[in-house]
Amino acid sequence: MFRIFGNIRVKETGEAIPGLVVVVFDVDPTQFDPNHLVVRDLPEGVRADRLGSVLTDAGGHFELTFEQADFQLSDQEERPDLMLVVFAPEDSRSANEPSPVTPQERVLHVSRVPRQDAGRTEAYAIRLLKAQLDRFEIPAGGDRATLDPAQYVAAVQGAWDFQDAVKKGLQP
């Protein structure tokens, strides 16, 4: 199982942002050009498989899990090449026009470079500008970011342990 998680906050204040749509894609890095970014929810272009979408909770947190079968189209691809896109909610335009603006117009954040050969667990810390939220009248949640040094140390140690295991496994 693969796990993508993270949190989204207001850059200027550290407040959590609930109710955002987080979409994760597996992209084909040979077809990827960060200067002409397009994914399935955007205009045609880069080949990408949508792995799923989730909403941010009251604390601005999100988590998405998926299986290898969800992205593995050939025996050659063992790990996904992840791209994350954050969208504003689908607000109706008006009482007379009860449909939202297009997904392209609702993009708040795009990970510009895919995480190639992503690990089984990947974390994202995203900070959006207050001006972006104001454009869509998105309120921040009010809970402030708190730094937990123990979580950070555990994450770094886990990454080092993984790297050491890979090196050991590749030695003749």
Going from N- to C-terminal start, the domains of the chain cover 2-145
Residue 84 · residue 23 · CB < 8 Å = yes
Residue 172 · residue 48 · CB < 8 Å = no
**What predicted TM-score, i.e. pTM, was given to this entire model?**
0.71
Q: Which residue has the higher pLDDT, 6 or 105?
A: 6
Determine the average pLDDT of the residues in 123-142: 90
- By DSSP bridging, strand 107-110 and strand 82-87 are antiparallel
Highest mean pLDDT among 29-33, 75-79, 94-98 belongs to 94-98
pLDDT beyond 50 at 40: no
Residue 79 · residue 119 · CB < 8 Å = yes
Residue 104 · residue 43 · CB < 8 Å = yes
- Please give the pLDDT value at position 16: 94
- Please give the pLDDT value at position 43: 37
Q: What is the pLDDT of residues 57-85, one digit of tens each?
A: 999 999 999 887 777 655 666 788 888 99
Highest mean pLDDT among 2-16, 106-120, 148-162 belongs to 2-16
Residue 84 C-alpha from the chain's centroid: 3
Contacts of 72 (CB under 8 A, 6+ apart): 78
Residue 51 · residue 72 · CB < 8 Å = no
Q: What is the pLDDT of residues 143-168, one digit of tens each?
A: 554 556 666 666 667 777 777 777 78
**Strands of 56-144, DSSP E:** 61-66, 82-87, 107-110, 121-128
For the chain, give the mean pLDDT. Answer: 80
- Kind and range of the H or E run holding 105: helix 103-106
* Window from 14-18, 49-53, 99-103 with minimum mean pLDDT: 99-103
- The two tokens of residue 7 are 């949190």
Contacts of 31 (CB under 8 A, 6+ apart): 46, 47
Q: What span, in angstroms and rounded, lies between the C-alpha atoms of 129 and 136?
A: 12
Determine the average pLDDT of the residues in 30-42: 52
Q: Considering the domain 2-145, what is its CATH architecture?
A: Sandwich (2.60)
pLDDT beyond 60 at 18: yes
Tell me the HSE value of 44 on the side-chain side, using a 13 A CA sphere: 0
Q: Binning pLDDT at 50, 70 and 90, where does residue 100 land?
A: confident
